[in-house]
Every structure is written in structure tokens, then in C-alpha cells.
């Protein structure tokens, strides 16, 4: 059975890049009737926080990515937090030292940085020169006496490694140039990412690792280390990176690309998943709008490209707008009302909002837009666009309209057309000069939903009150 994992570090909020990794893993697993695991890689004790872990889990669930094994769910391969697996790592490290595939290294961090500096000056890869392998016993004792705490490094043997990447095909690594003996246990005794991830992937029976291209250079380390521990490496596939609109790399620290930010702006989770899936993947049939179930059905790792994808906020808005317009009016009202209440943007009575919200379904990109759109019905509303209201023909329109309102049947869905048919003979203007003053008087704006949809919702009392308010504008 195919088993994949998403393994975030709880050192920040989920952003566009790592939620795409989670989504592609989930789609790959579910398309192939496999399992999706969540593992928390929290060995960075200084930066890891439980509040970030809870936020990451909440974002995954909001996106519809429910894990089959992991924290809060359990499973046969737990614990699913690396900080709770330290004893397991220690056993493997002891065995590597016993087999002379790892060693205590007393080279200081300052010496490592100096190696890198010199290598850069010589225009060489900033690799570790393996000097710690060959320290004599007196040298080691001298360093111990100075209080230097050792790391544990994995001993590189193979000068070259060739592997098959599920996305990039055959990849060849020259290890002599790119890497030296690398740290698997830090000086404080905590395992590094390289050690923990290899052990966990093997013991959790992960069959495929799908991750970002920035991890490609780590793959030879992981294959060698896994095999040295007598374990089976998974298959690897490395996703192209996601760049910003101008081609610049997206920063992990940018709040504007965090899932939390997208949620706050009022994007639908299924629309966000749809858009993110298009960052580096296509179905091959020119489709761009997918339900979540259709993403699972259509997903094929073979159709993931190798070139960087570009994040385009306008494209995201378009995708989200398409999903909004596919919602039934009742679902749109329910979801948008829940958003407005959560974000404290609701300024009108809830029953009125429920009736009115579907009118805006065709004219917004995300729920965040609704707070401003509904503002014209708030008690503290005031006109900002006044040009149409101050014209003399407009004053006459409002006065005549007020006289017609008492005889209108507002339970008639065609009440607006009846109103207009009665109003036209009463005034001297037509077309834009008739409709625009009415629109601005009722909504405060020149653009917005059709008045024929708004009219029966707003009702006689509101319309009368607003027309009288328009007459007061000078």
C-alpha cells in the first residue's frame, strides 16, 4: 500500500509552499487508495511551539486534508512527534557508531564556518572537509578539556550516487563535490532533520516521499544514511519551487502567503486547494476548475512539471470567484454569514444579511469583499458618491418614487419592473439618468448588484427611508 507523509516543523504557520506539498501528497495517496500520515518534526527545541502545531493541524483540516495516522488520531507507528521518539534515534546512532559509519566529531561550529568562508573565496562548494574523522586521541582530549561538545557525523563512503526521482527522472550526484561527512546528532544531543526523517520514514513504512525541490540536495544523504542503518529508502519526488508574481522566491515568513491569511481573507478551502493544485500540475485537458473529489480523481504525479510555478493572486481570486458562483444561494449565504461573523464584519441584522448575501454572489472574489458591500444597509451609512444625488432631475425622481412605493406589492419578485414602469411616465429622464440616481440613492455606489434583485429584499420601508435620505443631500 502507498503511504505518504506530510511532516511540518511547528516553527511557524503553514504557507503556500508547504501546504502545496501536503496537498500533492494527499492527492497522490487518495488517488492510489493509499494512506496519508502527519508527522510533527519538532526537534528544533528553540523554535518549535505547540501553538504552531495546533494551527498547522487546524489549517490542514480546514483544507480537507485529514490524516489517516498522526497526532490526535494515533496509529501503529507512533509516536508521530519526533520529540517523543528520541530513544529510537539513539539506538540507531549507537549502531552506526559501532559499525564505524558515524563518529563523534569535535570540530567546532566556528571552524566549520571558516571552512565555508575559505571555500567560497576559492569558488568551491562550501563542504565539510572531514577533518574530524582523523583527530588523534590527544587532540580529542585537548578539545574535550576546552569544553567542546561533539556532534555526531555520518561517514561518507560512496563518491557518487544515481537515483530515480519520480518527477525529475534520473539524477546523478557527485558527493565528493557537494557534501562531506554530515551531522546527524547536534552538540546538544538532539537528532538532526537528516537522521530523524530517515528513521521515521522507514519505521512508519512510508513508500513515497514527495517534497520541495529545495530538498533534492538532501536526498543522497538520506539514501546513504537509510541504507547504512539497514533500512529501505522510499521513492522520492521533488516538486518545483513556487515563486512570487515577479519570479522572486516566496519567503516562508511572508504572512500574506500563509494559509491563515487566506482564511482571514475569505477564500473557500476547496477553491484554495484547486488553485494550489495548479501550481506545477495540470490535468492535461485544459480544465482549471475542480471540485476536491475531481482533483483526487485527476491527479497524476507524472503531470507535475519541473519548472518553477508562479503564485498569481489574481488567478487565485478568479478561481475562488468561480467556486463561489457554483454555490447554491443557500450555501453561499450560510458560508458567507459564518465568515462575516467570525471576522466581526457583520454590521446589519442577521436575517437581513441572509436574504441579501446571495445578491452579491456574482460580483465578489472572496468573502472579505462582503463586509464593505453590505455597508450600505448599516445604520451608520453615509453617502460618499453624491454627484448623482444633487442633480435636479434626481430630486424629482426620488420624490415621485416615494409616492409610488405605498401601492407596490413587495412580495412580487417582479416588483422592481412594476415600479420602473410606473415611474418612467412621471419623470423627464430615462436610461442612465434614471437608473443611476436610484442606484446611488439606495446603495451609495454606481456599481453593484442588479436593483431588480435588491428591490424586493430591501423592502418598502428601507427604500422609502433611503430615498428620503437622498433628498437631504445638497
Active centre residues (catalytic): 252
Distance CA 282, CA 189 (A): 44
Task: Render the burial of 113-145: b for 16+ CB within 10 Å, e for the rest.
Answer: eebeeeeeeeeeeebbeeebeebeeeebeebee
Map grid coordinates 489574481 to a residue: 314
Number of helical H runs and strand E runs in the chain: 19, 11
Q: Copy the grid coordinates of residue 138.
A: 590527544
Decide: 13 and 55 in contact? Cβ < 8 Å: yes
Distance CA 441, CA 99 (A): 84
Estimate to the nearest angstrom the gap between the alpha carbon of 188 and the chain centroid.
Answer: 33
Burial of 253 (0-12, 13-18, 19+ CB in 10 A): exposed
Q: Is 363 helix (H, G, I), strand (E, B) or coil?
A: coil
Distances (CA, A) of 164 to 187, 223, 316, 367: 34, 11, 33, 44
The residues near 256 (Cβ < 8 Å, ≥ 6 apart) are: none
Distance CA 59, CA 212 (A): 19
Q: Is 79 helix (H, G, I), strand (E, B) or coil?
A: coil
Amino acid at each position: 500500500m502507498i503511504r505518504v507523509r506530510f511532516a511540518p516543523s511547528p516553527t511557524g504557520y503553514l504557507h503556500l509552499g508547504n501546504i502545496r506539498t501536503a496537498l500533492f501528497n494527499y492527492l497522490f495517496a487518495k488517488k492510489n487508495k493509499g494512506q496519508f500520515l502527519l508527522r510533527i518534526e519538532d526537534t528544533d527545541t528553540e523554535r518549535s511551539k505547540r501553538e504552531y502545531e495546533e494551527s498547522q493541524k487546524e489549517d490542514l483540516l480546514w483544507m480537507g486534508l485529514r490524516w489517516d495516522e498522526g497526532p490526535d488520531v494515533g496509529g501503529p507507528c507512533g509516536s508521530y512527534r519526533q520529540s517523543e521518539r528520541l530513544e529510537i534515534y539513539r539506538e540507531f546512532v549507537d549502531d552506526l557508531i559501532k559499525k564505524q559509519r558515524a563518529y563523534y566529531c569535535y570540530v567546532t561550529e566556528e571552524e566549520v564556518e571558516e571552512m565555508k568562508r575559505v571555500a567560497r573565496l576559492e569558488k568551491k562548494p562550501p563542504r565539510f572537509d572531514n577533518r574530524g574523522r582523523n583527530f588523534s586521541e590527544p587532540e580529542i582530549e585537548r578539545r574535550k578539556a576546552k569544553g567542546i561538545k561533539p556532534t555526531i557525523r555520518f561517514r561518507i563512503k560512496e563518491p557518487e550516487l544515481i537515483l530515480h526521482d519520480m518527477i525529475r527522472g534520473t539524477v546523478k550526484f557527485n558527493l565528493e563535490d557537494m557534501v562531506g561527512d554530515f551531522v546527524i546528532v547536534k552538540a546538544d544531543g538532539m537528532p538532526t532533520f537528516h537522521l530523524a526523517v530517515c528513521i521515521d520514514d522507514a519505521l512508519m513504512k512510508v513508500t513515497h516521499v514527495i517534497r520541495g525541490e529545495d530538498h533534492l540536495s538532501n536526498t543522497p544523504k538520506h539514501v546513504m544514511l537509510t541504507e547504512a542503518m539497514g533500512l529501505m529508502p522510499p521513492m522520492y519526488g521533488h516538486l518545483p519551487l513556487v515563486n512570487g508574481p515577479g519570479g522572486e522566491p516566496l519567503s516562508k515568513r511572508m504572512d500574506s502567503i500563509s494559509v491563515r491569511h487566506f482564511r482571514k481573507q475569505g477564500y473557500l478551502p476547496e477553491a484554495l486547494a484547486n488553485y494550489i493544485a495548479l501550481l506545477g500540475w495540470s490535468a492535461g485537458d485544459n480544465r482549471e476548475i475542480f471540485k476536491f473529489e475531481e482533483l483526487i480523481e485527476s491527479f497524476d504525479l507524472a503531470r507535475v512539471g519541473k519548472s518553477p510555478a508562479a503564485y498569481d493572486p489574481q488567478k487565485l481570486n478568479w478561481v475562488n470567484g468561480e467556486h463561489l458562483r457554483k454555490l447554491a444561494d443557500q450555501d453561499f449565504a450560510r458560508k458567507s454569514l459564518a465568515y462575516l461573523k467570525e471576522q466581526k464584519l457583520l454590521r446589519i441584522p442577521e436575517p437581513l444579511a441572509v436574504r441579501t448575501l446571495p445578491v452579491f454572489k456574482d460580483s465578489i472574489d472572496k468573502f472579505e469583499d462582503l463586509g464593505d458591500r453590505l455597508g450600505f444597509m448599516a445604520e451608520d451609512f453615509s453617502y460618499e458618491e453624491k454627484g448623482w444625488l444633487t442633480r435636479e432631475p434626481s430630486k424629482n425622481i426620488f420624490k415621485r418614487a416615494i409616492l409610488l412605493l405605498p401601492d407596490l406589492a413587495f412580495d412580487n419578485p417582479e416588483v422592481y419592473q412594476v415600479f420602473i414602469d410606473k415611474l418612467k411616465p412621471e419623470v423627464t429622464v430615462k436610461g442612465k439618468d434614471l437608473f443611476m440616481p436610484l442606484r446611488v440613492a439606495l446603495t451609495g455606489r454606481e456599481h453593484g448588484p442588479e436593483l431588480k434583485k435588491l428591490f424586493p429584499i430591501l423592502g418598502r420601508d428601507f427604500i422609502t427611508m433611503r430615498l428620503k435620505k437622498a433628498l437631504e443631500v445638497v
